[in-house]
Amino acid sequence: MGKLVYTLPEGEPVAGVTSLAGEIYLLRDKGRDQVEVYDVITYRLQRRLTVPNIRSLTDMTSCEHCRCVYMSDGDGECVHRLDVQGAFTRWTVNDKPQGLSVNTSHNVIVTCDVVRKVKEFSSRGVLIRQIILPGDVIHPFHAIQTRSGQFIVCHGEVGDPVHRVCMMSADGRHIVHSHGGQPGSDTGQYSMPAHLAVDDNEFVFVLDDNNRRVTLLSPTLEYVRQVVSRDQLKGWPLGLYLRRQQRLWKWVPHRLYLNQQLRLLYVTDNERNEGIGRVVVFSV
For the chain, helix (H) and strand (E) counts, in that order, are 0, 24
List the end-to-end C-alpha distance of the chain, in Å, as a whole number. 8
Tens digits of per-residue pLDDT, 3-42? Answer: 999 999 999 999 999 999 999 999 999 989 999 999 999 9
- Banded model confidence at residue 235, pLDDT cuts 50, 70, 90: low
pLDDT band at 195 (very low <50, low <70, confident <90, very high): very high
3-state secondary structure (DSSP) of residue 230: helix
Pick the range with the lowest mean pLDDT from 89-93, 131-135, 192-196, 241-245.
241-245
Q: What count of residues does the chain have?
A: 284
The amino acid at residue 156 is: G
Q: Look over the chain and give the mean of its residue pLDDT values, rounded to a whole number.
A: 93
**Residue 133 to residue 27: CA distance in whole angstroms:** 28
The residue ranking higher by pLDDT, 237 or 118, is 118
- Separation of alpha carbons 21 and 259, rounded Å: 12
What's phi and psi for 151, nearest 5 deg? Answer: -115, 135
Which residues face 120 on adjacent strands? 109, 129
Q: Are 84 and 102 in contact (CB under 8 A)?
A: no
pLDDT at 244: 36
pLDDT in tens, 39-92: 999 999 999 999 999 999 999 999 999 999 999 999 999 999 999 988 999 999
Tell me the per-residue pLDDT of 247-274, one tens digit each, with 9 for 90 and over: 455 788 999 999 999 999 999 999 877 8
Question: What predicted TM-score, i.e. pTM, was given to this entire model?
Answer: 0.93
d(CA 280, CA 4): 7
Question: What residues pair up with 142 in beta bridges, in sequence order?
Answer: 154
What is d(CA 85, CA 202) in angstroms, rounded to the nearest whole number?
Answer: 31
Alpha carbon distance 279, 168 (integer Å): 30
CATH code, residues 3-283? 2.120.10.30
φ, ψ (nearest 5 deg) of residue 244: -60, -30
Q: Which regions of 156-272 does DSSP assign to beta strands (E)?
A: 163-168, 175-181, 193-198, 204-208, 213-217, 223-228, 256-259, 264-271
Residue 231 phi, psi dihedral angles, 5° rounding: -70, -20
Confidence of residue 237 (pLDDT cuts 50, 70, 90): very low
pLDDT recorded at residue 204: 98
Whole-angstrom Cα distance, residue 76 to residue 149?
29
Check residue 249 and give its pLDDT.
52
The pLDDT, as a whole number, for residue 242 is 42
With beta carbons less than 8 A apart as the criterion, state whether 255 and 15 touch.
yes
Res 274: pLDDT: 80
Q: How does pLDDT run across 89-113, given as a tens digit for each residue?
A: 999 999 999 999 999 999 999 999 9
Strand order in the sheet with 23-28: 14-20, 23-28, 35-39, 45-49
* Sign for the pseudo-dihedral over CA of 180, 267, 130, 192: positive
Query: Does residue 81 sit in helix, strand or coil?
Result: strand
pLDDT band, residue 1 (cuts 50/70/90): confident
pLDDT of residue 240: 43
